[in-house]
Structure 1
Amino acid sequence: MTSRLALALLLALTGCGDDAAERVARAEREIAGMELGAAKVDLTAALADAGDDPAILRMLAAVQLRLGDGDGAAATASRLERSGGSQAELALIRAEAAVPRGNSDQALALLGQDASPAAERVRAAALSAKGDTAGAFAALQRGAASGGDPLLLRDYARFLIAAQDLDAASRQVEALSRLPAGKFDAALIAADIAVRRGQFAEAHAVLEQMAAKYPRVPDPWLARANAFDLQGKLDDALAMTSRAAAVAPDDPRVRDLQVQFASMKGEWDKVRSLLARQERDLDPLSANGLSYAEAMLRTGHPEQARAMFQRALTRSPNNPFARIMLAEAQLATGDSLAAFGTVRPLAASQLAGPRELELAVKAADAAGLPDATPLRARLRAAQAGQAQSLAAEGQAALAREDWSAAAQAYAQLAQSGDDPEVLKRLALALSHAGKGEEAIRAADKARALRPEDPDTLYMAGLVRARTGTDLPTAITLLRKASSAEPTNAVFRNTLARYQTQPGA
């Protein structure tokens, strides 16, 4: 809170009674500790005691907006208007409140020509909700250039992470960390970037410090749970989830992790119990949607599971988990030929592991197909570790950003035959290793094998954009990938990230 606002509050509360003053003071401490739900309760109570004081209303609106409570913030804006709030501040509050309520056009109209960093942040959110990712990116760039708004820098960093530009995101985090009001988000995002780079010890150290500093906030525990999950440390992830649940038992993110880990442990009745009330509203491609579909399969409802996985795969044909699970559901319903057709693209890859190959063998055997014999030989080889060790080496190297090691592992795999999955990863590693021409050749070879595949289009565009080679072609390829999968945030954000560069 600025000293000016603190002074305004002090003057406003003179004579308002001890209860209101105490509640506002406690709310200030809660906001500093990121206990926004508690601050909302205290500010609401303070207003009940002190009346519609403009300074308290401004505090409450800010808290409501940070919580995503658009209805509450809009109501607070109406009270602030009656109490003498300026038209400029009212327009900004109402614009931001309109976004979570699904009224993006109204938000943009309310913002008008306001070019302040806060307005650009809200404009970016509204444009993003409308599907205008390029417009959102441009607004974030303008806002970052014109001033240090902590929430804008937070959103800008998150956008860049989704565009897989971790270096640029780290620069925004550095700027954010220099702002007193940005330290919480800066630390969380820095930990996220560290996890994405495989720097788990560094991430856990940051998050442990955050948990000590913000003891009543679940975010550090949730982030540690996700990090431990990526490390394959399920028991530690469960322990962190329990810590988060102790702080915020009703937080939907806590429930989501409980579902995820119950799925990993095969506790399917628990998964169904946790998600039963949401069944009709579950996105089939979300983690919860996929977990619920698998729970239906594992508890004896293969037809329903098949329909759910079919919807997921239709929306995202390159989702390997949805493809594997649909094949399992098809096998469970007796349609072995369809199951083999579903799993075959995964089993054909040199990156195929025992799970994909074993499923393909089962489907081919059940359908009486001759493909079972060579697949069985490949399954034995996979179980013996052939090719899998190279695939594991390559994946581990990608995670720790050892681009040369990753390129070497995938180049060895590529010698065994043309495989678009291998070539995509090889192209990515080569582009980061400064071998632009080789990266483009690998990506184009993958695209030639699967010319309409959104992933191969994306990689062919990405390596060109990263190396600054033929940007018009790069943008065309990225745009095709994004059009093929319009819900893919990585595709959308990467396109927006590069299409504004000179020469594009």
Structure 2
Amino acid sequence: MKRLAPVLLPLAALALASCGDSPDTVLAKARQDLGAGNAQEARYRLAEALRSAPGDARIVMLLAQAHLQQGDVDGAERVLSRLGKDAGSPQALRLRARIALQRGKAAEALRLLARDTSAESSAIQAEAYLAQGDSDAARKAFQNALDAGGGADVAAQYARFLLKAGELDRTAQVLRGMQARDPGAYQTLVLAGDLAVARGQTDAAMVAFQKAVDAYPDRVPPMLALADLYGAAGRFDDVEPLLDKAQTIDPDNETVAAMRLRVLAGRKRWKDIRNMLQTRESQLEPGSEAALTYGRALLNLGQPGQARMLAGRAVLMQPDNRDALLLLGEARLATGDAPGAWSVLQPLAAGALAAGDVLRPASRAAKAVGAPQADALARRTEPAQLARTEALVAKGEAALTAGQWDVALGVYRTLLGTREDPEVLARLAFVCTQMRQTALAIAYADRAVAVSDAPQYLYVAGLARLEGGVQLPRALAQLKRAAEAQPDDADIAQALEKARAAAG
């Protein structure tokens, strides 16, 4: 029983404190708890207060909100069932709409809020429209929420919607409003970092996330975002202190463990990786980042056979996993199986976007088997040529991220040259879709599908037609095929829902 005392005594003290407080005081303290992310404390406080004032609708609804904040939908619904004459109040209907939304019933949520024009209602409606795949209606609802006086949370939701949609200038506009109202708010600081990342402004992103870490030292996400940027820049000495802090706050955070592995791999500390993972080898999910990092460590430590086994398992589970295929090709090459290595590496190296980590082993494999592509691959791996290509690829990716469509169009046209590369064609189709050049987008997309009917190319072809408002039956058919092949892809699923609505 003594082991329970440290947990039970504070809760008992909290309950006793709540007994002597007025309902208004309890509500104020509970709102502070919820604002600080302490939903559990709010629940204890409100549940105790409800015993003294069982008919207080304000306490009932705030307690339901606390349950929802913890993801306890059933608990929220049970609490709301205690409402009497206030069951049909606007606030109660909003809570019921949130419950419906969390249960995947977006249409019911919209029905409950049909006559509610408040900022909170409009924000919930925006979430419901997003769940239905109707981004245009979601955009209008978010704007309505802001116009109705929505605060920082609504602005942050809207900004993240715009950020995901690639509307960086509009995101920046919303962010400026957030900075004017509350420059030190958590959402404001983190959004500034995310927007800088989207624009490829690494230094500015580091500054923004550092501000968030300094202002909110108990929040893990900005720590990990900053650590990720440091890791990408090779600043591993700066990464580890952030991971140590994050692990202290959230010991079971899987991202922290994954990032530690990336640091070790970046430092080529292969023995440390092997020592960390070898006792858990049987538990590693095939194709996971940890399993492939472990396989690469074994390859670099002179155990290519074991690396080949791990990579083979991964490819069986995930045939399109680029990292698994690369590791398998390299492991086969290291075990003397040049034909097997070439069979895996040749498709990876064929694309115009292939990087040096693929081209170099592919070139060795091609030379070993006397493949006709050997000379061309040797030229592509010449340092000067490889540097030019990788710089161009990086420029294209940065332009896509930043929504610089004219720049991206020029880069990918250069990379395409005279070849029919489906990956480059798909990027060109996507860029032209964003530029509202529908006919050109469809032409590029159809050329990609003619080379390969992989789901990502079907998706781009369907999206080009859907966004252009043309050939909607064909768009629907292409998106259906893409969704059947990749049922877990959220972007494909959202486009399919929008196509179904557009096709009637």
TM above 0.5, one fold? yes
- Distance 1:185-1:60 versus aligned 2 partners, 3 A rule: farther
Distance 1:327 1:469 in 2: 43
Aligned to 2:405: 403
Counterpart-to-counterpart distance in 2, 1:359 and 1:207: 38
Q: Which residue of 2 aligns with 1:66?
A: 69
Deviation at 1:465, TM superposition (A): 4.6
Counterpart residue number, 2:218: 216
Structure 2: runs of 5+ lacking an equivalent: 1-14
1:196-248 C-alpha deviation (Å, 9 max, x unpaired): 22133444444344334433222322233334445565544445444434544
* 350 and 59 in structure 1: CA distance in 2 versus 1, 3 angstrom threshold: same
Q: Does 1:114 align with 2:145?
A: no
Q: Do 2:199 and 2:402's aligned partners in 1 also have CA atoms closer than 8 Å? A: yes
Residues 371/333 of structure 1: CA separation in 2 closer, same or farther (3 Å cut):
same
Give the counterpart of 1:17 among 20, 40, 53: 20
Relative contact order, higher structure (CA 8 A, sep 6+): 1
1:343-362, Cα deviation, whole Å (9 max, x unpaired): 22221122223211222234
Could you say which residue in structure 2 is the equivalent of 1:310?
315
Partner amino acid, structure 2, of 1:404: D
Q: 386-395 or 217-226: which moved more?
A: 386-395
State the Cα deviation string for residues 66-107 of structure 1 (Å, max 9, x = none): 34x43xx5346545645879656788768856987xxx46x6
Q: 2:459 maps to which residue?
A: 458
Distance 1:416 1:328 in 2: 29
Equivalent AA in structure 2 for residue 292 of structure 1? A
Structure 1 counterpart of 2:482, one-letter code: A
Does residue 424 of structure 2 align to residue 425 of structure 1?
Answer: no
1:356 aligns with 2:355: no
Q: CA deviation at 1:363?
A: 3.5
CA distance in 2, matches of 1:21, 1:276: 56
2:421 maps to a residue whose letter is D
Q: 1:75 to 1:426 in 2, by over 3 A?
A: closer
Residue 489 of structure 2 is matched in structure 1 by: 488
Identity percentage of aligned residues: 28
Report the CA distance shift for 1:423/1:475 in structure 2 as closer, same or farther (over 3 A): same
1:260-284, Cα deviation, whole Å (9 max, x unpaired): 43444445555884897797585x5
Q: 1:171 to 1:392 in 2, by over 3 A?
A: closer
Deviation of 1:310 (Å): 1.2
Per-residue CA distance 1:322-357 (angstroms, 9 max, x = gap) = 432343355466654343222222211222232112
SS of aligned partner of 1:387: helix
Aligned residue type for 1:375: L
Task: From 194, 199, 202, give the equivalent of 2:196.
Answer: 194
**After the TM superposition, which residues 72-471 of structure 1 pair with which residues of structure 2 at under 5 Å, given as runs?**
74-75=74-75, 77-78=77-78, 81=81, 87=87, 104=103, 113-115=111-113, 134=132, 140=138, 144=142, 147=145, 158=160, 161-162=163-164, 164=166, 184-185=186-187, 187-189=189-191, 191-229=193-231, 233-267=235-269, 269-270=272-273, 273=276, 282=285, 289-299=288-298, 300=303, 301-302=306-307, 304-314=309-319, 317=320, 319-331=321-333, 336-364=338-366, 369=371, 371-380=373-382, 385=387, 387-432=389-434, 437-450=439-452, 452-466=453-467, 470=471
Cα contact 2:133–2:495 (8 A) shared by 1:
no
Find the residue that maps to 2:482 and give its secondary structure.
Answer: helix
Partner-residue secondary structure (3-state), 1:292: helix
User: Is the CA contact (8 Å cut-off) linking 1:221 and 1:244 kept in structure 2?
Assistant: yes
Relative to structure 1, is the Cα distance of residues 372 and 201 closer, same or farther in structure 2, using a 3 angstrom cutoff? closer
Q: CA deviation at 1:479?
A: 4.1
Work out the CA distance in 1 between the residues paired with 2:173 and 2:479.
Answer: 24
Q: Hey, what does 1:42 align to over in structure 2?
A: 41
CA–CA separation in structure 1 for the residues paired with 2:322 and 2:495: 22
Q: Is the 8 A contact 1:305 1:329 kept in 2?
A: no
User: What letter is aligned with 1:309?
Assistant: A
Matches of 1:447 and 1:466 in 2, distance apart?
18
Which residue is equivalent to 2:12? Answer: none
TM-superposed CA distance for 1:165, in Å, is 5.5
Indicate conservation of the 8 Å contact 2:396/2:411, yes or no.
yes
Distance 1:329 1:80, change over 3 A: farther
Do the aligned partners of 1:140 and 1:156 also contact (CA within 8 Å) in 2?
no
Q: Partners of 1:462 and 1:252 in 2: how far apart?
A: 34
Length, aligned pairs only: 469
Provide the C-alpha distance between the structure 2 equivalents of 1:279 and 1:91, rounded to a whole number of angstroms.
Answer: 50
Larger Rg: 2
Distance 2:161 2:277 in 1: 31
Tell me the amino acid that sits aligned with residue 305 of structure 1: L
CA distance in 2, matches of 1:91, 1:477: 39
- Aligned mates of 2:450, 2:436 — CA distance in 1: 23
| Aligned-residue CA RMSD (Å) | 5.0
* Distance of aligned partners of 1:231 and 1:167 in 2 relative to their CA distance in 1, 3 Å threshold: farther
CA shift at 1:192, angstroms? 2.2
Structure 1 unaligned segments of length 5 or more: list them: 1-11
Contact 1:162 1:490 in 2 (8 A): no
